[in-house]
Chains A and B, each alone.
Chain A
Amino acid sequence: MKAADKKRVLREMLFARRFEERCYEAYVERKIGGFLHLYPGEEACAFGVLEAARPGHDYVITSYRDHVHAIKCGVPPKAVMAELFAKETGVCKGLGGSMHIFGTEQRFMGGYALVGGPFPLAAGIAKGIKMKGGDEISICFLGDAANNQGVFHESLNMAKLWDLPVLYVCENNLYGIGTRIDRSTAVIDQYKRVSGYDIPSAQVDGQDIDKVYEAAQIAVDHVRSGKGPYFLELMTYRYRGHSMSDSNAYRTKEEERMWGTRDPIIILRDRLIEAGEITLDDYSAMDTEILEEIENEVIKFAEESPEPSAELLHKYVLAENDPWVHGGAK
């Protein structure tokens, strides 16, 4: 990554962090409802991988922890926030909510609430890419615990069998809600689990964006060049509980403190300071600017947007004006 890119990515990551923290506050203020799963701590995963790919061009799909992936793909933050506020200006017009952010224009193919659900969808998207002959790839971000679903294995088998252009990115934050990985998973190193399907894989430090980026470049090149699927495991940590309803009592303070010293944003910031690219003051100024932007543009937009109209309740259940349904088809 070039220095200019790194500076941009630092800003993007900090924006993502502040966005998520503001979501937390908005939830406490009851502006956001339902389940809310936040991403702080894991930023280098989405940013490192997507920096090496082509967000907005490549297809991306993920789970319920989806806001940041959507934003990095180019989905406007204010439309994401408006969705969380259940407003008509939200990306899904208030019908989806936190776990179901979609931005097809930016090829963000959705956040899904069922663990493991996106594995086969990602392979299917890759199949579509292959049939249409594009140079895009399909990128699937999911947690480590999702790998215990049967569809993980079913999907990897098909992806390899048909050499589909799909990159599986495992964000291994060591926990599935309150269950630590060694209590749910026989083989803890996730990258080893795909060898049975002859799929190349790698495991890297998910807190260091340079390492993620480097590994992701190899992975993306492999997939884009038509060599079939790749599996990338990123070792990371979420700072908050699994969701807002999680008391987070199952983790030790020492463990949390240890990971706190490996903050992906601080790692990148300090590296840029050391290289003389920025100063601490630049960083603070940037932070202030971001906080203002989130408040004055993102939150304001979400707050001031209208509630969805009642007609929306029935609008997207089935296709509208479909001649095959209503007559007139030739």
Chain B
Amino acid sequence: MAEIMYWEALRRAHDEEMTRDPLVICMGEDIGVAGGTYKATNGLFDKYGPERVIDTPISEGGYTGLGIGASFLGVRPIIEIMSVNFAWLAMDQIFNTAAKVRYMSGGQLEAPVVIRSPGGTAHQLGAQHSARMEKVFMGVAGLRSVTPSNPRQAYGLLKSAIRCNDPVFINEHELMYNMKGEVPDEEYFMPLEGSEIARQGTDITLFGYNISVHWCTQAAEILASKHGINCEVIDLYSLAPLDRDGIKASVSKTHRAIIVEEAEPAVGVGSEVMAIINEECFFELDAAPVRVSAQNVPIPYNHTLEKMAIPNAQDVVNSVLKMFGLTG
């Protein structure tokens, strides 16, 4: 098994699927000749040519809709939107068409598109480049939403997403493209629904997704070594639908839950997971579930304030200690 970077895993998935199926195309700003802002399509232009690796104009609504239209005829577009902040401009096409077309056509049409886009707070990119929008893409019926936290998931989820007949939104993270991890050498696919246990534990469940999984596992190591608290970490790589059974199984085992998200708390991943916990395992709880979320502010440019605006591993540690009536 080779250790490769997150962007390399994405690139490999693109490449394999494009070789297999001539109707798989990829499109987006600067993804072709320039090789992609985060290199996920690096070299594919030379290999597959401009008909299949398409540099689009800067018109997110236009090219996303175009990709959706092509998918009506069986083309399998992988649409890269350079930053999730620009995906707002394509929202009408994604929500009003891709997510609804099979349903409203009574099953006559479907939109098997993949839309990949990085989000999150990176290094001082300012309010208009720091959106965390997972919560938006998990809230609309008809759209699948996944968010890989490591290269293995990035590869396996993209492979499945390309073959799946639903529209799939893949939330990536600007800070994770250079993250290394093991990816099996043989081809494999990850189920688009489900969750993974990132760390086994008995005392409390920390729920994370994408980058917050890493905050959770860092916190779990600190809590284990310094405080003797054994955290289970669940990686909710599928946000729509959420893995109800997986959430229930873990909370039934540990009886406590903290949900860690990079975005503001309202109408978020955390509130949704808490609702599921309430619905599925209320009577098994030893403490009320808690969210660790961002401050309710647009992200500031200043680095110190930026760090204050979003959570980190220490915030997770603190809230676990608080739940156990301990202090750092």
Looking at chain A's contact residues, the main secondary structure is: loop
**Cβ 8 A contact of B128, one of A99, A146, A185, A250:** A99
Q: How large is the interface on B (under 10, 10 to 19, 20 to 34, 35 or more residues)?
A: 35 or more
Q: Mark interface residues in A158-180 (1 if CB within 8 Å of B CB, else 0).
A: 00000000000000000011110
Q: Is the CB of B126 within 8 A of A100?
A: yes
Contact with A along B287-313 (1 / 0, CB 8 A): 000000001111011111100110000
Whether A33 touches B300, Cβ cut-off 8 Å, given contacts A113-B126, A184-B56, is no
Cβ of A114 within 8 Å of any chain B Cβ, yes or no, is: yes
Whether B305 lies near A95 (C-beta < 8 A) is yes
Contact of A113 among B56, B128, B297 (CB under 8 A): B128
As a 0/1 sequence over residues 116 to 141 of chain B, the CB contacts with chain A under 8 angstroms (1 = contact) are 00000001111111000000000000
Contact with B along A288-330 (1 / 0, CB 8 A): 0000000000000000000110101110010000000000000
| Shortest distance between the CB of A147 and any CB in chain B (Å) | 9
A34 at the interface (CB under 8 A from B): yes
In this complex, which of B34, B57, B129, B309 has the most chain A Cβ atoms within 10 angstroms of its Cβ? B57
A117 to B158, CA, bound (A): 31
Contacts of B58 in A (CB 8 A): 115-116, 145-146, 148-149, 176, 184
Could you give, for residues 309-324 of chain B, a 1 whenever the CB lies within 8 Å of some chain A CB and a 0 otherwise? Answer: 1000000000000000
Which single member of A34, A94, A307, A317 contacts B297 (CB below 8 Å)?
A317
User: A4 to chain B: closest CB distance in Å?
Assistant: 39
Taking A97-B124, A148-B57 as contacts, is the C-beta distance between A312 and B300 under 8 angstroms?
Answer: yes
Q: Which residues of A contact B276 (CB under 8 A)?
A: none
Tell yes or no: B49 within 8 A of A by CB: no
For A94-117 the 0/1 string (1 means CB < 8 A from B) is 111111100000000000111110
With beta carbons under 8 angstroms apart, the residue of B55, B57, B86, B298 that contacts A114 is: B86
A35 within 8 A of B: yes
Q: Report yes or no: A250 in contact with B126, Cβ–Cβ below 8 A.
A: no
- Alpha-carbon distance A325/B29, docked complex (angstroms): 43
The contact string, 1 if C-beta is below 8 Å from chain B, for chain A 174-210, is 0011110001110000000000000000000000000
| Chain B residue with Cβ nearest A84 | B301
Contact (Cβ within 8 A) B30 A34: no
B126 touches A34 (CB 8 A): yes
A177 pairs with B300, CB closer than 8 A:
no
CB-based nearest B residue for A249: B34
The reply to whether A114 and B303 form a contact with Cβ atoms under 8 Å apart is no
Instruction: Tally chain A residues at the interface, Cβ within 8 Å.
Output: 38
User: A33's contact among B30, B86, B124, B297, by CB below 8 Å, is which?
Assistant: B124
- At the interface, yes or no: A86 with Cβ under 8 Å from chain B? yes
Distance of A46 Cα from B62 Cα, bound (Å): 30
A276 close to B (CB within 8 Å) = no
Chain A 59-114 interface residues, beta-carbon cutoff 8 Å to B: 83, 86, 92, 94-100, 112-114
Contact partners of B295 in chain A: CB under 8 A: 313-314
Contacts of B33 in A (CB 8 A): 178-179, 183, 250
Contacts of A184 in B (CB 8 A): 55-58
Q: Check: B165 CB closer than 8 A to any chain A CB.
A: no
Q: Is B97 an interface residue (CB 8 A)?
A: no
Contact A310 B296 (CB under 8 A): no
Contacts A114-B85, A150-B61, A178-B34 hold; do A99 and B55 have CB atoms under 8 A apart?
A: no
B178 within 8 A of partner (CB):
no
Provide the bound-state CA to CA distance between A307 and B85, in Å: 27
User: B305 contacts which of A99, A113, A313 (Cβ < 8 Å)?
Assistant: A313
Cα(A95)–Cα(B124), bound, Å: 10
Q: How far is the CB of B4 from chain A (nearest CB, A)?
A: 22
Minimum Cβ distance to chain A for residue B265 (Å): 14
Decide if B300 touches A114 in the complex (CB within 8 Å): no
Residues of B within 8 A of A35 (CB): 125-126, 129
Known: A176-B58, A184-B58, A185-B57. 13 other contacts (CB 8 A): A33-B123, A94-B300, A94-B301, A94-B305, A97-B126, A98-B126, A115-B58, A115-B86, A177-B30, A179-B29, A179-B33, A313-B305, A317-B297
The 3 closest A-B pairs by CB, nearest first: A97-B301, A33-B124, A178-B34
17 CB < 8 A contacts A-B: A33-B301, A34-B129, A94-B300, A100-B126, A113-B85, A113-B128, A145-B58, A148-B58, A149-B89, A176-B57, A177-B29, A184-B57, A184-B58, A185-B57, A307-B304, A310-B308, A312-B305
Q: What is B's interface to A at a CB cutoff of 8 Å?
A: 29-30, 33-34, 37, 55-62, 85-86, 89, 123-129, 295-298, 300-305, 308-309
